[in-house]
Amino acid sequence: MRRFLVPLVAALALAAPAAAATNLPDVTKINGKVPPGTPTFAFKSEVLSRGRIGHGNETVVIRTTRLAGTRAPIHTHDHGGTTCVLQGQMTLYMQGHEPMTARAGQCYFMPRGHLMTGVNSGKRTAVMLDIFTVPIGAPTWTPREPGFRDQ
């Protein structure tokens, strides 16, 4: 019985809805440190594709441009996603993990529920494709850093 219960509990935990954004506390640190870079929304963010894939979900592809020395506000993803760097380099700072740098042609996965920020750690503008599968109409991310929640 236990061998069936453990996977079932794990599956239910993964399927559980995330807490409402209004109930989440503001966050200023990841792994006990303020991440490098100036927090700001992307210089440019353009939805390239939005397609329904069934079961009430859609895939959203966004081209994001981030200036050197800037970073995304600390945030979470309720459903995870993947970022592929097309130009420049980005470093992902994520709670519980070492920073990971991806350069043009490389991708990184952003699991659901983890506090994180993407930092343009290069000397030039970074361009990325962000790919998410979410319930139709759901946000792709939830800002958690003070000053970014309601924008």
pLDDT digits (tens, 9 = 90+) for 73-96: 999 999 999 999 999 999 999 999
Q: Which two tokens stand for residue 14?
A: 């993964």
Read off the tokens for 31.
Answer: 């792994």
Per-residue confidence band for 35, with pLDDT thresholds at 50, 70 and 90? very high
**pLDDT value of residue 13:** 35
Residue 17 has pLDDT above 60, yes or no: no
Compute CA distances 115 → 51, 64, 106, whole Å.
Answer: 27, 19, 21
Residue 141's nearest CA partner among 73, 43, 57 is 73
The predicted pLDDT at position 142 comes to 95
Express as a percent the part of the chain with pLDDT over 70. Answer: 84
User: 13 near 141, Cβ under 8 Å?
Assistant: no
pTM (2 decimals)?
A: 0.82
